[in-house]
Structure 1
Amino acid sequence: MEPVLVPRWVQLVLLPVSIAGAYLLLSKAGHVLLLFTIAGLIALFLNPLVTLVQRARLPRGPAVAIVMGSVVALAVGLGFVLADPVSSQATSLQREIPGYVDDANESLADLQDWLDRRGIDIQVKQEGESALQTIGERLTGGAGEVVGFTRDAVTRLVEASIALILIIVLAIYMLIYGDRIGAIARAVVPPGDGSPEDDFPTRVQGALFGWVRGQFLFCVIMGTSAGLMLWVLGSFGIFPEGKEYAIAFGVWFGIAELIPYIGPAIGGFPPVLIAALSDNPLDAVWLIIAFTGLQQIEGHVVAPNVFGSALQLNPLLVIFGLLLGGEIAGFIGAFIALPLAAIMRETVVYFHRHTRFQRWDLPAAEPPPPKERCPECGASIALGAEECPACGTELGGEGAAAASATAPG
């Protein structure tokens, strides 16, 4: 297909309009744009499944209902499968937290006695006990709950639930009208060659699938590695609780990897805190070293190989996308930054293949016509002139050409 030529005047008009429109959209749309973006990513991810179900000669509406119901059932089933081992280990860990706090208080008392015997006027016992008591109450929940919801927490939970419902509803509508949306996208962009490899919506879906595949594999690898590391350390006597609660800590670490920037720190915080409150606080130091090493392996080995092959993005673009997404919409923005960056990459590649811009440089000036010298007066005259405009000498013929060649410059 011949690429579409974009004239200079169209480029000149579209450039400032696009910049101004993008700025107004990002500054005014806010959470609405974020909800539509998340719903669009979900719809893009599920659309191939809807198309697959439609092959059974079902209308698109029932196919969407089947796919969405299956996804919800799968999520609920996976939650039930993981709930029993994770909740049992979390409950057992919750029961032992008061013991960890008591051990830490005894260590603080010993430290305070040592300081008092040497006349060092530093009070660490009272402040430390208050801090440990607060941590223990928050972890145990006071009334047996893992998390005690305050009024603000309940409000945020309700807002998140409403946002989740809106996202699901928007995704369903986008799936129902997926064929029309795809047709509009194909009409807006330059036409491809008709193959799936050169179809714009198909390429966008492929980019999103690459991110989902990479993110899932990344979380599984890191969660399994963290759980296995804690189990090995517990087997060697370093943080024995790590061997007993390896599944819970591993699942938590894998889920925490979904959070950009601080995911490894959040994932490693619970075991490090428990080790610091135990009767052997030195285990916390070993855990910090182990998690730091794991984070280095993650950043230099796992992440480049997984996301590099899945997204086909330069690491600098990945970092820029994460920073920009976090600046615009916080953790949610950083979370969806990579799939959006992958989609943007496919868009740029597609337009680069099917469009060309009219050149902005001015045409080069025509070279001056060649000239010769008059054989009589030596004046510069046009090549092929019949007479010299300066002295009137008639020109032409082989003799005049030879005389012109021997005339002084």
Structure 2
Amino acid sequence: MDGHTDKEMARHTEEEAANPLDEVGEEGPDSPPLRTPAPAPPARIAPVLVPRWVQMALLPVAIAGAYLFLHAAGHILLLFIIAGLIALLLNPFVALLQKARFPRGAAVAVVMVSVLALLTGIGFLLANPISDQVSSFQRDVPGYVDDANTELANLQDWLDRKGINLQVKQEGETALQTIGERITGGAGDVVSFTRDAVQILVEASLAVILILVLSVYMLIYGERIGAVARGLVPPGDGTPDDDFPTRIQAALFGYVRGQVLFSLIMGTSAGLMLFLLGSLGIFPEGKTYAVAFGAWYGFAELIPYVGPAVGGLPPVIIAALSDNPIDAVWLIIAFTVLQQLEGHVVAPNVFGQALRINPILVIFALLMGGQLAGFVGAFIALPIAAILRETIVYLRRHTHFERWDLPTAKPPPQATESRCPECGVPVAADAQECPACGTELGDRDAAASAAAAAPG
């Protein structure tokens, strides 16, 4: 049996060798089915080498193309930047839910719904007090206008008694009447203003919706985006302190902490200033509403550039319409001093500590952001500056540039050793005798002649 089996196997082997079609899967009448062999791997092709001169020529073209693209897509890029900042702020909460066994998509949905619910709740909580204050202010406007008209009449009488030919009553009454109509809603051009406001509101709403949609997608693909970011920079040591996306996220949270601290400092300072002025008899309403005015001033500090003006506007208007309008002048002076302290002392130091950026660079970032993208650019200038700072620190830690020193034309170094003319043993150039045979080596010329005459 064994011999017969060996003969059968040998016969099948010969048939397979004689019929090459069986190797590609075709079966003979008596041969068993054969397995198709795996295809051979493709030959490795060497990559195309781009010469250095081509790289140098393409570099300015690429820079110019990138500049033109960013200039043309400025508004779109701005939306993506804002969405990215929001996604970076919310990503830690998504990661926290993922640790609690939530799928990433469900975690993103929970976080976004929670943020929207929180903002809606804050809006409802503030709606009634703000509405009551606005209604009360509108009811008091006619009284403020009457008081201001009385003061103007007194001022006009004083000017007339002094013989000063200056008419302030009629112009002042017209201006006050216009302000009162605008505030109470009786102006004739309110419809036109409302139409423009509605258009701006619609455009802003569309932008906000697009930003939220982009933020959701960035959160869903956050892990992939983080992997891409890690692949673009040199690898870290694996710890959170040396992980590039984690450092960027921490820098953004530092900006948020700095902004909250800044608003608290400025709001408290404005409230204390108004309370002090009210206690001194300047703008008595400031003592009564110091907390409300301070809270409003702190909230307005979230708005770059115009925040101080928006925060100080309500008390200045109330003082201007009161029975002592000179208080408005004192308030303008006081808020101007406060704004100078804010811009040159508080903001650079608070954000400089929170973002670990030099105060001069903080001022530069705010000015540059406003110049490039206006109000929105100034609003996102500091978080972008914090991200750039962390990027530079990370790259400096993990990259090293090759020096650009050019080779110098130095002569080759002379040999530091020679051979003994008698025995051929290597000896130092400054040796006086051979360490092997003791031949005197003081006369180098004679030694060289002896070496030439010596047998090989």
TM-score category (smaller protein): 0.7 to 0.9
Instruction: Please say if 1:318 is aligned against 2:362.
Output: yes
Q: 1:185-334 to 2 correspondence within 5 Å?
A: 185-334=229-378
**TM superposition shift of 1:341:** 0.5
Please state if 1:42 is matched with 2:114.
Answer: no
In structure 2, distance between residues paired with 1:273 and 1:233 = 16
Q: Tell me: CA distance 1:66–1:76, structure 2 relative to 1, closer, same or farther (3 Å).
A: same
Q: Secondary structure at the match of 2:237?
A: coil
Three-state SS of the structure 2 residue aligned to 1:309 is: helix
* Bigger Rg, which one: 2
1:272–1:287: 8 Å Cα contact kept in structure 2? yes
d(CA) in 2 for partners of 1:301, 1:94: 37
Counterpart for residue 123 of structure 1: 167
Alignment partners' CA distance in 1, 2:149 and 2:59 = 65
Deviation at 1:301, TM superposition (A): 4.5
Choose from 201, 204, 207 the match for 1:163.
Answer: 207
Moved more, 58-67 or 317-326: 317-326
In the TM superposition, residue 333 of structure 1 has moved relative to its aligned partner by 0.4
How much is the aligned-residue C-alpha RMSD, in angstroms?
2.9
- In structure 1, distance between residues paired with 2:387 and 2:62: 19
Measured after TM superposition, the shift of residue 50 of structure 1 is: 0.4
Paired residue type of 1:218: F
Structure 1: distance between partners of 2:251 and 2:62: 24
2:43 is aligned to: none
| Of 40-49 and 212-221, the range deviating more from structure 2 | 212-221
The one-letter amino acid paired with 2:196 is D
Task: State, as a whole percentage, how many aligned pairs show the same letter.
Answer: 73
1:31 to 75, 79, 88: 75
Query: Which sections of structure 1, spanning at least 5 residues, go unmatched?
Result: 1-6, 371-383, 385-395, 403-409
Preserved CA contact (<8 Å) 1:89 1:248: no
What displacement does 1:300 show?
4.8
Counterpart-to-counterpart distance in 2, 1:106 and 1:14 = 74
Residues of 1 paired with 2:191 and 2:219: CA distance? Answer: 36
Give the 3-state SS of the residue equivalent to 1:357 in structure 2. Answer: coil
Aligned length: 371
Amino acid at match of 2:362: V
Higher relative CO (CA 8 A, sep ≥ 6), structure 1 or 2? 1
Structure 2 residue 130 is matched with structure 1 residue 83: no
1:54 to 76, 79, 98: 98
Structure 2 CA distance for partners of 1:101 and 1:135, relative to 1, 3 Å: same
Instruction: State the distance in 2 between where 1:315 and 1:165 align.
Output: 35
> For 1:70-114, what per-residue CA distance to the aligned partner results, in whole angstroms no more than 9, with x for missing partners?
111111222233333333333322221222122112222222233
Runs of 4+ in 1 over 6 A off after TM superposition: 7-11
Distance 1:200 1:11 in 2: 28
Structure 2 counterpart of 1:315, one-letter code: P
In 2, distance between residues paired with 1:265 and 1:203?
35
Instruction: Identify if the C-alpha distance between structure 1 residues 267 and 314 changes in structure 2 by more than 3 Å, giving closer, same or farther.
Output: same
Distance in 1 of aligned mates of 2:89 and 2:98:
16
Q: Please give the secondary structure, in 1, of the residue aligned with 2:405.
A: coil
Deviation at residue 157 of structure 1 after TM alignment: 0.7
TM-score, normalisation: structure 1 = 0.82
Partner in structure 2 of residue 107 of structure 1: 151
1:342 aligns with 2:363: no
Q: State whether residues 204 and 343 of structure 1, in contact with CA within 8 Å, keep that contact through their aligned partners in structure 2.
A: yes
Question: Normalized against structure 2, the TM-score is what?
Answer: 0.74
Q: Within 1, Cα distance between the matches of 2:53 and 2:91? A: 38
Cα deviations by residue, 1:13-70 (Å, 9 ceiling, x for unpaired): 6853563244223311121111111000000000001000111111111101111111
Q: What is the Cα deviation at residue 121 of structure 1?
A: 3.0
- Give the equivalent residue in structure 2 for 1:97: 141
Cα 1:39/1:13, change in 2 over 3 Å = farther
Residue aligning to 1:177: 221
Q: CA deviation at 1:368?
A: 6.8
Contact 1:141 1:148 in 2 (8 A): no
Give the Cα separation in 2 of the matches to 1:189 and 1:244.
56
Asked if structure 2 preserves the Cα contact closer than 8 Å seen for 1:44 and 1:208, the reply is yes
Matches of 2:59 and 2:172 in 1, distance apart? 60
SS at match of 1:398: coil
